[in-house]
């Protein structure tokens, strides 16, 4: 459909639980409700989940209760340790009937995804790690890039849900979805830094930063980051869409995974340190394009 609204065809056979109703979880769960899925939701702060009541969601008191009403459980949680806790200590895995499927759309370490898959398999449950890219804008529009790792059969079981939320791609076995997300975040973080540094140098030299962004937009430097984040930099609009702290977490996960693989990643390492220093300077709650603020500070341009 051209307007990116959910397919109105009823999806009543899809019983889905969404665990974690934050910046991404809310619009994604809402799309599932609007597509006709039977949706149960849980969040540590119940009030966030209750925002979905007008859309027909059932608000559960525990992860296990939400999972018990579903065939597919989607997790959208802060990190791998929280996913582990919600699945195995707070009862989500125990609440899901044998043969059910866990789709972890959080951004966690690949080795954690592989560990979760193994433990879920011992309980008779499937697992797909399927982190996303596209931010809240993509979540609202149903245009997320979904990077999925796991068995092909489980990916196909999840496809009807994925296609309500965006564009899914099966990239390999368990953990491969998380590897793809790390690749995405490495490219995003490094490119944000390149755009910020280049635009700031132009401003320091007397050029109009906004006009420079326009001038180079049609050449090889063109990118989504230049378009979207570059405009935020020009406008000094760092309202949080994707947090600096989350970008830093992902860069650190990339460096941890590189170390586990014996892979040298010097460029990612440099930008991990830059994001860390920016957060230390107090911009952690701003949008990840606010790396611009740290580079401006270093150059006396704040």
pLDDT of 212 over the 70 cut: yes
DSSP string, 71-109: SEEEE--SSHHHHHIIIIISSHHHHSPTT-EEEE-S---
> Quick one: pLDDT band at residue 5, thresholds 50, 70, 90?
very low
pLDDT at 4: 46
Whether pLDDT at 11 is above 80 = no
In which band, very low, low, confident or very high, does the pLDDT at 302 lie, cut at 50, 70 and 90?
confident
Q: Give the pLDDT confidence score for residue 8 in this predicted structure.
A: 40
Is the predicted pLDDT of residue 177 greater than 70, yes or no? Answer: yes
How far apart CA 290 and CA 224 sit, in angstroms, is 16
Query: Confidence class of residue 241 from pLDDT cuts 50, 70 and 90?
Result: confident
Task: Indicate the pLDDT class of residue 278, thresholds 50, 70 and 90.
Answer: very high
Catalytic residue among 181, 204, 211, 249: 181
Q: Strand 144-150 relative to strand 132-133: parallel, antiparallel, unpaired?
A: antiparallel
3-state SS assignment for residue 283: helix
Q: 57: left (phi > 0), else alpha (psi -120 to 50), else beta? A: beta
User: With left for phi above 0 and alpha for psi between -120 and 50, is residue 31 left, alpha or beta?
Assistant: alpha
Burial 250-261 (b: 16+ CB within 10 A, else e): bbebbbebbeee
Q: Which residue has the tokens 């898959």?
A: 117
Q: What is the biggest distance separating any 2 CA atoms in the chain, rounded to whole angstroms? A: 65
Residue closest to 28 by CA, chosen among 121, 173, 131, 157: 131
Nearest by Cα to 292 from 252, 241, 232, 250: 232
The tokens describing 183, both together, are: 């690749």
Quote the pLDDT of residue 242: 87
Question: Greater confidence, 3 or 255?
Answer: 255
pLDDT tens digits for range 121-133: 999 999 999 999 9
User: Which residue blocks in 125-243 are alpha helix, DSSP H?
Assistant: 135-141, 152-165, 176-204, 209-216, 224-235
Tokens of 273: 């340190």
204 given a catalytic annotation: no
> Residue 6's pLDDT band (boundaries 50, 70, 90)?
very low
Residue found under tokens 């999840």: 158
Q: Which residues pair with 27 in a beta bridge?
A: none
Has residue 13 got a pLDDT over 80? no
pLDDT band at 9 (very low <50, low <70, confident <90, very high): very low
């Amino acid at each position: 459909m051209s307007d990116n609204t959910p397919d109105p065809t009823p999806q009543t056979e899809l019983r889905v639980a969404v665990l974690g109703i934050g910046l991404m979880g809310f619009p994604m769960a809402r799309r599932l409700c609007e597509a006709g899925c039977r949706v149960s939701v849980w969040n540590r702060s119940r009030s966030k989940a209750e925002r979905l009541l007008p859309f027909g969601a059932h608000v559960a008191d525990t992860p296990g209760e939400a999972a018990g009403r579903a065939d597919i459980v989607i997790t959208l949680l802060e990190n791998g340790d929280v996913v582990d806790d919600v699945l195995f200590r707070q009862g989500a895995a125990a609440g899901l009937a044998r043969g059910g499927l866990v789709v972890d759309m959080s951004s966690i370490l690949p080795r954690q995804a592989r560990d979760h898959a193994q433990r879920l398999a011992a309980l008779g449950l499937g697992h797909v790690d399927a982190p996303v890219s596209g931010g809240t804008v993509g979540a609202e529009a149903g245009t997320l890039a979904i990077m999925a790792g796991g068995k092909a059969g489980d990916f196909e079981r999840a496809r009807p849900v994925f296609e309500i939320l965006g564009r899914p791609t099966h990239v390999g076995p368990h953990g491969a979805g998380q590897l793809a997300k790390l690749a995405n975040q490495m490219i995003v973080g490094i490119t944000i830094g390149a755009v910020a540094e280049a635009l700031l140098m132009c401003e320091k030299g007397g050029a109009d930063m906004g006009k420079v962004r326009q001038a180079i937009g049609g050449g090889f430097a063109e990118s989504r980051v230049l378009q979207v984040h570059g405009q935020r930099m020009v406008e000094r609009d760092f309202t949080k869409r994707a947090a600096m702290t989350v970008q830093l977490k992902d860069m650190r996960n990339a460096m941890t995974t590189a170390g586990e693989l014996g892979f040298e990643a010097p460029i990612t390492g440099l930008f991990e340190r830059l994001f860390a220093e920016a957060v230390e300077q107090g911009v952690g709650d701003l949008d990840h394009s606010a790396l611009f603020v740290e580079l401006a500070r270093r150059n006396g341009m704040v």
